[in-house]
């Protein structure tokens, strides 16, 4: 059985159980989820368009040169730097990673890109400093960058 079908079936069963147990709370939760989804929709559409345009205008040869397996340590560094600066949600980043691999990028390079994309926030560092101390933010980003380097190296050795 397909994993997606399994998860959807479980979700539907749980919603039905919730509805039987408390109709008001379930209706409230479904309305809140719908509003949250609709609020997310504009950024989701924008990200999908961005990724589509990126993969349309950036040739597989360019991706291969910048992030290809033959790019070696230079490609890993490119992936780490691009991921540190870029900002996108995981539900867009991981499919982008899969598309990059299909377009000729190397596993270690994409691992470095995705690792820093998810963990390092250069573009959001000042916002993060407002909520956390400056020292904490800097340490977190440095440790996340180091962790992403290790992640990329391990993936490069395994794949």
Question: Which whole-number Å values give the CA distances from 5 to 8, 9, 55, 61, in the listed order?
Answer: 5, 6, 29, 37
Question: How do residues 34-70 score in pLDDT, each as one tens digit?
Answer: 998 898 788 778 777 876 777 677 777 777 778 888 8
- Which run of H or of E encompasses 42? helix 23-57
On whether the CB atoms of residues 12 and 1 are closer than 8 A, the answer is no
pTM of the entire predicted model: 0.68
- Please report the pLDDT score of residue 146 as a whole number: 96
Q: For residues 95 and 23, give the distance between their C-alpha atoms in angstroms, rounded to a whole number.
A: 36
- Please report the pLDDT score of residue 59 as a whole number: 73
In DSSP terms, 105 is beta-bridged to 68
Instruction: Profile the chain (159 residues) by mean pLDDT over runs of 10 residues.
Output: 84 95 95 90 77 74 80 90 84 84 90 93 83 92 95 93
Above pLDDT 90, what percent of the chain? 47
């Amino acid at each position: 059985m397909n994993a997606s079908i399994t998860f959807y079936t479980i979700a539907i069963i749980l919603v039905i159980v919730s509805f039987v147990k408390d109709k008001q709370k379930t209706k409230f939760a479904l309305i809140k989820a719908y509003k949250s989804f609709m609020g997310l929709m504009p950024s989701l559409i924008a990200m999908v368009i961005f990724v589509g345009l990126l993969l349309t205008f950036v040739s597989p040869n360019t991706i291969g040169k910048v992030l290809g397996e033959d790019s070696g340590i230079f490609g890993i560094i490119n992936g780490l730097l691009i991921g540190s600066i870029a900002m996108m949600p995981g539900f867009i980043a991981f499919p982008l990673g899969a598309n990059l691999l299909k377009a000729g990028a190397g596993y270690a390079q994409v691992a470095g890109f995705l690792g820093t994309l998810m963990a390092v926030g250069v573009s959001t560092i000042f916002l993060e400093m407002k909520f956390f101390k400056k020292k904490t933010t800097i340490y977190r980003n440095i440790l996340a960058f180091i962790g992403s380097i290790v992640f990329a190296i391990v993936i490069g050795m395994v794949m």
